[in-house]
Amino acid sequence: MHPRTRELLEYLDQQRAGLRTAFDAIPAALRDRAPAEGRWSTAAIIEHLAIVEVRVSARLSSLIAEARASGLGAEPSLEPVLPTINVGQVVDRRTRFTAPDAIQPTGLGADAAWTALEEAGKGVRDLMNASDGLALGTVSMPHPVFGPSSAYHWFAFVGAHEARHAAQIREIADVLTTD
């Protein structure tokens, strides 16, 4: 396995573990409850993550397939990817974003949302494994906030996005468990 693939898979696993810990800290009976009017419940956050990961994986899969058809070569660099990305910008909860309609949660319950996220995460990891060793730094698509981003950066974004929302869930836990 290419070192960049390994690095990003490990990062995704770490962020998923943190998300799971935050999710499990919310009592099951409170996971579908929003902390305030107009805010997402824990279930809604998890569903949002699943939607985003499915969309990112599908788009990257298409772009990587196009790049392969055009002769995408092997990744020449062994340098780590994560130091080249401002993960902190994604994780920083002081800046709020409004998700576009296409990635808004639809109302899945907590258990169904977690199952959807597990499936979506598997899709991301399967794509990374299938693309192992390819020059993914040359495959790019724009992020609506962060601008042009390579496939490597998108894979890292998936993990950072989970970390961002794990922090949000921890904030919700503070609100819901003090009511």
User: Where along the chain do its domains lie?
Assistant: 3-25+39-176
Give the model's confidence band at 100: pLDDT under 50 very low, under 70 low, under 90 confident, else very high: confident
pLDDT tens, residue by residue, 22-32: 999 999 999 99
Task: Write out the H or E segment, with its range, that includes residue 163.
Answer: helix 151-176
The structure's pTM equals 0.94
pLDDT computed for residue 179 by the predictor: 56
- For 3-25+39-176, CATH gives 1.20.120
Distances, alpha carbon 161 to alpha carbons 29, 46, 71, 165, in Å: 25, 11, 31, 6
pLDDT computed for residue 137 by the predictor: 95
Beta-carbon contacts of 106 under 8 Å, excluding residues fewer than 6 positions away, are 47
Q: Which two tokens stand for residue 54?
A: 């499915």
Give the residue among 167, 168, 54 at the shortest CA–CA distance from 118. Answer: 54
